[in-house]
Amino acid sequence: MTNSSHFDAIVVGAGPAGLTAGIYLSRARFRTLIISDGVPGGQMILTHEIANYPGVESISGYQLSNIMKKQAKNFGCEILGNTEVSSLNLDDERKEVVLSDGRAFTSDAVILTPGGRSRTLNVPGEAKFKGRGISYCATCDGDFFTDKEIVVVGGGNSALEEAVSLTKYASKVTIVHQFDHFQAFDYAVEEAKSNPKINFIMESSIVQFYGEDKLESVDIKNLNTGEINNFKTDGVFIFIGYVANTEFLKEKVKLNQWNEIVVDSDMSTSIPGVFAAGDSIVKRYRQVTTAVGDGTVAALAASNYIHQLKTRNLHESLTH
């Protein structure tokens, strides 16, 4: 890390969106800093295998993260990992980011890519079997359950639509839902109910996961009677909502009712010079490829903003 604390751009978050933004900005010769609260890679590093990234037949999320990080660094991007942002000043022309250790950095533009996380059941065994039988992404992991019997948890549009999509791989899908009705649109409910591979366990919830090296069974509790039955399964897909990592951005930029960052088509937020990309923005599909696309657009828009700002400031200095 060089001594000067001013950058052309600061990227907050180092998932695929943040790393992509860093690659584009630093390759364009903008002095760029990426700040990550963990190891660069975000949710991507938790993915055992990525088989649908264009141009790459199969790679682990950890490997892909390292390649992106190396690319960014090779172009001159500076990366600070395992450090948290304690405060942000985004309203002034010169933005300021203060870290929990007291260090402060300023920049002309900021790109927010804090990512998000799938809402969890928060029951015993869930953390242990995450990535070893428990998944939160049908598109990512459905293929690994070809001819297997699986469970889908949830009752909204995502749960039912993903359950139907998973029948392309699984031999049997059992939907477990805590209510006696679904919160999904009628078409999604009808499509799920008419699929011969899908079964339903209503007014119930999973209360524990079991297995040795990988998931083998779950305890399902009937919420009316309290009765608990052990249910054998090869995998569980959990679709009970998504949480954006934007707690630190409240009252900083415009968020929607789910605390997702509201952006325009060029990834600009409600604050001039502040852009956002990846899983924390308002969007329907969350994939590594969509995050990379968002990061690209945000970086190009930020580059244009920085260029215009420098040009204007130079003009003003010459005319005074």
pLDDT digits (tens, 9 = 90+) for 120-147: 999 999 999 999 999 998 878 999 999 9
Residue 202: what are its φ and ψ, rounded to 5°?
-95, 165
pLDDT digits (tens, 9 = 90+) for 18-43: 999 999 999 999 999 999 998 889 88
One fold for both 6-117+242-319 and 120-238? Answer: yes
244: nearest Cα among 291, 299, 282: 282
Per the DSSP assignment, residues forming a β-bridge with 97 are: 88, 105
Give 320's pLDDT tier (boundaries 50, 70, 90): low
Long-range pairs, 95-101, Cβ under 8 A, ≥24: 95/10, 95/273, 95/274, 97/10, 97/12, 97/35, 99/35
Q: Rounded to an integer, what distance in angstroms lies between the CA atom of residue 277 and that of residue 263?
A: 8
From the options 1.10.3720.10, 3.50.50.60, 3.60.10.10, 3.30.420.40, give the CATH code of 120-238. 3.50.50.60
Q: Does the domain made of 6-117+242-319 have the CATH classification 3.50.50.60?
A: yes
Would you kindly state where each structural domain of the chain is located, as residue ranges?
Answer: 6-117+242-319, 120-238
